[in-house]
């Protein structure tokens, strides 16, 4: 089931325990490229797409509550980018978070293929398309191809988390993973302060 909304989710849309989240933007530069779409997927596989209109970000009160709610884990793939644009756009701190890319890097040290497409293929045996990745997400009416692609980006994150958690436990890296997810919350703050996190810890 895929639902499409504008500027916010309805107040009666409730997520238990966890929600898979992705965003589509005009580009990859937080302060330059605006947020266009927020994709959410519940644990039972319902997808909710929220199209964000320019200058209407103040309308997203229910999204703000969801993204900062301590009892709901927000699952991303490459959380660093998504939480940066969400924190900046909505003036919030998204937490708590889980990143399937970081989990994959900690659990699957036998490979350097940690993109969503590769991860879905190897861990879940699912083929996802990445064709609409670079398209105009700011347009007034998104195409069916865009909506399908956008839904695909959140549809498998719960399944990935479940498989990756098993691997992390098996390899004794769950504790490190959880600490990494907490540290990830700091990256948007460093970015907005123009502090390079890589450089910060160098000699």
Cβ distance to Mn ion smaller for residue 8 or 22: 22
For 121, residues 6+ apart whose C-beta sits below 8 A from its C-beta are: 127
Closest approach of Mn ion to the CB of residue 160, in Å: 14
Closest approach of Mn ion to the CB of residue 116, in Å: 8
- Separation of alpha carbons 103 and 174, rounded Å: 9
Cβ distance to Mn ion smaller for residue 153 or 191: 153
Contact 87, 94 (CB under 8 A): yes
For 203, residues 6+ apart whose C-beta sits below 8 A from its C-beta are: none
Cβ distance to Mn ion smaller for residue 146 or 168: 146
Closest approach of Mn ion to the CB of residue 85, in Å: 11
- Chain contacts with Mn ion (rule: CB under 5 A): 22, 153
Closest approach of Mn ion to the CB of residue 24, in Å: 6
Cβ distance to Mn ion smaller for residue 124 or 190: 124
Residue 150: Cβ within 10 Å count = 25
């Amino acid at each position: 089931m895929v639902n499409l909304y504008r500027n916010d989710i309805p107040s009666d849309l409730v997520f238990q325990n966890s929600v898979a989240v992705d965003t589509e933007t005009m580009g990859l530069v937080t302060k330059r490229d605006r947020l266009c779409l927020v994709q959410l997927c519940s644990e039972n596989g319902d997808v909710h797409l929220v199209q964000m209109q320019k200058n209407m970000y103040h309308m997203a009160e229910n999204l703000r509550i969801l993204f900062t709610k301590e009892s709901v884990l927000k699952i991303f793939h490459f959380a660093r980018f998504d939480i940066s644009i969400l924190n900046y756009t909505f003036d919030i701190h998204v937490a708590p978070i889980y990143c399937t890319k970081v989990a994959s890097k900690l659990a699957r040290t036998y490979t350097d293929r940690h993109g969503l497409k590769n991860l879905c293929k190897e861990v879940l045996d699912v083929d996802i398309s990445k064709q609409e990745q670079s398209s105009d997400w700011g347009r007034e009416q998104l195409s069916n191809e865009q909506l399908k692609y956008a839904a695909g980006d959140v549809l498998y994150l719960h399944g990935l988390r479940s498989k990756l958690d098993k691997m992390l436990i098996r390899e004794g890296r769950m504790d490190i993973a959880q600490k990494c997810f907490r540290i990830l919350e700091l990256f948007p703050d460093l970015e907005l302060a123009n502090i390079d996190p890589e450089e910060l810890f160098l000699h």
